[in-house]
């Protein structure tokens, strides 16, 4: 049963230097036509069974699309799938895009969760990250969303960028404490290969904080957000009680979801598959009635179990002890036990990639 629908809106007004998502700067793009393509792609999956709980519009910059187009989109979407069980409809927004009236219309359309791409609450941070908006834009946008009636608001923030000091992060967290947000996604800046930052980093032209500083920053973020009442429920995500992102939890609990749009990923019947990252190829395929899938992997038997352990250990729920047996020697310091479950502690979450690789090595090692 497909529980979640993800729509990828690939358009952006500029390309951020750290971004490795599919994002296309195309001022002349016809957003209405692209939304129609998404629905046409959905028609190719009519053989699936849907029991939808969440819808997520991510990007790119979904807020580059006028809300009036979403009104038409949702009306047509409701003719394809039953939306009556949907509890969460999220929209990723950039702070500079929507007015109060826009947010009001989005609320009327049924959106009930806004995820605002704030990235930094310091002007220095926004500049270092190459963002176009200022701190004031973020605060105004938050205020507008709240005044329009949104009571479930996430902000995305980035730490560990060039020039960020521990004290700067402290100031940012002080400011965060007064904001009307129910969820915070706090990501470590990663200089991915195919990005401007990645290339600068390779050439030694981007200086990121040392590992010990990053570790102290992660610790500080966790402690301060917990003091503010947030639960650290996933490696990079914090929520007030009851405001965990339902849609993302589908990813981390191996539930089925369908991703539509260029570069979108899906997980259905044990198969992970991804669409073409080329907007041109995506468009051609959908227009000719073919699924635009470019990559796929069938998870079977133990692979499926290991994949489950991989994603579930990202969360505070962790995994059933019986799936791992004992925590392998040398990894004890990264785990904690709650009832019949293992989960990563904060240190384990910080070093999750390394810990999971070592865990898999140990589980896979022949006796
Ligand atoms: S970070 Fe967001 S706004 Fe910037 S290019 Fe990527 S998707 Fe677009």
Q: pLDDT tens digits, residue range 104-149? A: 999 999 999 999 999 999 999 999 999 999 999 999 999 999 999 9
Contacts of 218 (CB under 8 A, 6+ apart): 159, 188, 346, 349, 350
In whole angstroms, give the CA distance from residue 326 to residue 241. Answer: 30
Q: What is the pLDDT at residue 365?
A: 65
Phi, psi of 249 (to 5 degrees): -65, -30
Asked if residue 223 and residue 100 are part of one domain, the reply reads yes
Q: Is residue 279 one of the residues assigned to a domain?
A: no
Asked if residue 25 and residue 91 are part of one domain, the reply reads yes
- Any bridge partners for residue 259, and if so which? 6
Asked if residue 14 and residue 123 are part of one domain, the reply reads yes
Q: What is the pLDDT of residues 298-338, one digit of tens each?
A: 998 888 988 999 999 999 999 999 888 888 889 999 999 98
Cβ neighbours around 36 below 10 Å, total: 16
Whole-number average pLDDT of the chain: 95
pLDDT at residue 209 is higher than 70: yes
- Give the mutation target among 8, 14, 25, 61 for probing the ligand 1 site: most ligand atoms within 8 A of CB: 61
In whole angstroms, give the CA distance from residue 34 to residue 37. Answer: 5
CA 121 to chain centre: 19
Mean pLDDT value across residues 332-347: 93
Asked if residue 67 and residue 150 are part of one domain, the reply reads yes
Whether 231 and 316 have beta carbons less than 8 Å apart is answered as yes
- Give the mutation target among 10, 12, 20 for probing the ligand 1 site: most ligand atoms within 8 A of CB: 12
Q: What is the pLDDT of residues 34-61, one digit of tens each?
A: 999 999 999 999 999 999 999 999 999 9
Q: Is residue 283 one of the residues assigned to a domain?
A: no
pLDDT class of 178 with cuts at 50, 70, 90: very high
Asked if residue 198 and residue 124 are part of one domain, the reply reads yes
- Dihedral angle sign, alpha carbons of residues 236, 240, 246, 249: positive
Asked if residue 237 and residue 111 are part of one domain, the reply reads yes
Q: What is the pLDDT at residue 147?
A: 98
- Give the mutation target among 23, 24, 279 for probing the ligand 1 site: most ligand atoms within 8 A of CB: 23
Q: What is the pLDDT at residue 270?
A: 94
Asked if residue 140 and residue 54 are part of one domain, the reply reads yes
Q: Is residue 266 one of the residues assigned to a domain?
A: no
- Output the domain CATH number for residue 211: 3.20.20.70
Ligand 1 atom closest to Cα of residue 59: 7
Asked if residue 321 and residue 197 are part of one domain, the reply reads no
Asked if residue 159 and residue 59 are part of one domain, the reply reads yes
Q: What is the pLDDT at residue 26?
A: 87
Q: Please tell me the distance between residue 247's alpha carbon and the centre of ligand 1 in angstroms.
A: 20
The answer, yes or no, to whether any atom of ligand 1 lies below 6 A from the CB of 61, is yes
Helix (H, G, I), strand (E, B) or coil at 221: helix
The answer, yes or no, to whether any atom of ligand 1 lies below 6 A from the CB of 189, is no
Q: What is the pLDDT of residues 237-295, one digit of tens each?
A: 999 999 999 999 999 999 999 999 999 999 999 999 999 999 999 999 999 999 999 99
CA 236 to chain centre: 9
Q: What is the pLDDT at residue 366?
A: 55
The answer, yes or no, to whether any atom of ligand 1 lies below 6 A from the CB of 117, is yes
Q: Please tell me the distance between residue 16's alpha carbon and the centre of ligand 1 in angstroms.
A: 5
Tokens of 104: 């009001």
In whole angstroms, give the CA distance from residue 6 to residue 86. Answer: 13
The gap between the terminal CA atoms of the chain, to the nearest Å, is 37
Highest mean pLDDT among 26-30, 184-188, 296-300: 184-188
Asked if residue 43 and residue 131 are part of one domain, the reply reads yes
Q: Is residue 196 one of the residues assigned to a domain?
A: yes
Structural domains of the chain, count: 2
Which secondary-structure segment (H or E) carries 362?
helix 352-364
pLDDT at residue 29 is higher than 70: yes
% of the chain with per-residue pLDDT over 70? 99
- Give the mutation target among 21, 25, 29, 95 for probing the ligand 1 site: most ligand atoms within 8 A of CB: 21
Q: Is residue 267 one of the residues assigned to a domain?
A: no
pLDDT at residue 367 is higher than 60: no
Q: Is residue 217 one of the residues assigned to a domain?
A: yes
Contacts of 131 (CB under 8 A, 6+ apart): 16, 119, 120
Q: Regarding beta strands 183-188 and 237-239, do their DSSP bridges make them parallel or antiparallel, or are they unpaired? A: antiparallel
Last residue of a domain, one of 221, 250, 279: 250
Whether 92 and 261 have beta carbons less than 8 Å apart is answered as no
Q: What is the pLDDT at residue 327?
A: 86
pLDDT class of 202 with cuts at 50, 70, 90: very high
Which residue's alpha carbon is at the smallest distance from atom 6 of ligand 1? Answer: 19
Asked if residue 113 and residue 173 are part of one domain, the reply reads yes
Ligand 1 atom closest to Cα of residue 117: 2
Q: Is residue 169 one of the residues assigned to a domain?
A: yes
Asked if residue 227 and residue 126 are part of one domain, the reply reads yes
Q: Please tell me the distance between residue 141's alpha carbon and the centre of ligand 1 in angstroms.
A: 17
Whether 157 and 121 have beta carbons less than 8 Å apart is answered as yes
Q: What is the pLDDT at residue 362?
A: 83
The answer, yes or no, to whether any atom of ligand 1 lies below 6 A from the CB of 59, is yes
Q: Is residue 289 one of the residues assigned to a domain?
A: no
Q: Please tell me the distance between residue 298's alpha carbon and the centre of ligand 1 in angstroms.
A: 30
The answer, yes or no, to whether any atom of ligand 1 lies below 6 A from the CB of 16, is yes
In whole angstroms, give the CA distance from residue 159 to residue 172. Answer: 10
Q: Please tell me the distance between residue 29's alpha carbon and the centre of ligand 1 in angstroms.
A: 16
Mean pLDDT value across residues 11-37: 94
Q: State which residues form the domain around 330.
A: 302-367
In whole angstroms, give the CA distance from residue 19 to residue 107. Answer: 28
- List helix spans (H) across 190-315: 196-202, 211-227, 246-252, 279-287, 301-312
The answer, yes or no, to whether any atom of ligand 1 lies below 6 A from the CB of 160, is no
Q: Measure Cα distances from 32 to 13, 68, 206 in Å.
A: 17, 10, 39
Tokens of 8: 């990828």
In whole angstroms, give the CA distance from residue 200 to residue 316. Answer: 35
% of the chain with per-residue pLDDT over 90? 90
Tokens of 229: 């009442």
């Amino acid at each position: 049963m497909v529980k979640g629908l993800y729509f990828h809106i690939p358009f952006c007004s500029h390309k951020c230097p750290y971004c490795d998502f599919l994002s296309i700067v195309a001022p002349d793009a016809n957003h209405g036509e692209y939304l129609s393509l998404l629905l046409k792609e959905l028609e190719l999956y009519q053989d699936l069974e849907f029991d939808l709980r969440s819808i997520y519009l991510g990007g790119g910059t979904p807020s580059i699309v006028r809300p009036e187009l979403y009104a038409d989109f949702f009306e047509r979407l409701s003719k394809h799938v039953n939306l009556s069980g949907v509890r969460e409809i999220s929209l990723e927004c950039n702070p500079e895009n929507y007015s109060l009236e826009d947010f009001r219309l989005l609320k009327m359309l049924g959106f009930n969760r806004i995820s605002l791409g704030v990235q930094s609450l310091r002007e220095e941070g926004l500049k270092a990250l190459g963002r176009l908006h200022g701190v004031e834009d973020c605060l105004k946008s938050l205020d507008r969303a709240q005044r329009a009636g949104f009571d479930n608001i996430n902000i995305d923030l980035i730490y560990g960028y060039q020039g960020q000091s521990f004290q700067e992060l402290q100031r940012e967290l002080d400011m965060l404490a007064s904001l009307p947000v129910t969820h915070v996604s706090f990501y470590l800046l990663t200089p991915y290969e195919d990005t401007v930052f990645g290339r600068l980093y390779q050439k030694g032209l981007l200086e990121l904080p040392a590992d010990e500083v990053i570790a102290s920053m992660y610790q500080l973020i966790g402690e301060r957000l917990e003091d503010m009442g947030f639960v650290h429920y996933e490696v990079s995500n914090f929520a007030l009680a009851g405001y965990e992102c339902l849609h993302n939890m589908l990813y981390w609990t191996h539930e089925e979801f369908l991703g539509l749009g260029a570069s979108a990923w899906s997980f259905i019947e044990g198969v992970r598959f991804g669409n073409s990252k080329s907007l041109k190829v995506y468009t051609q395929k959908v227009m000719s009635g073919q699924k635009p899938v470019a990559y796929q992997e069938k998870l079977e038997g133990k692979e499926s179990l290991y994949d489950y352990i991989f994603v579930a250990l990202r969360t505070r729920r962790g995994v059933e002890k019986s799936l791992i047996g004992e925590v392998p020697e040398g990894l004890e310091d990264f785990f904690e036990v709650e009832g019949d479950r293992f989960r990563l502690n904060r240190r384990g979450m910080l070093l999750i990639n390394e810990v999971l690789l070592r865990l898999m090595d140990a589980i896979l090692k022949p006796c």
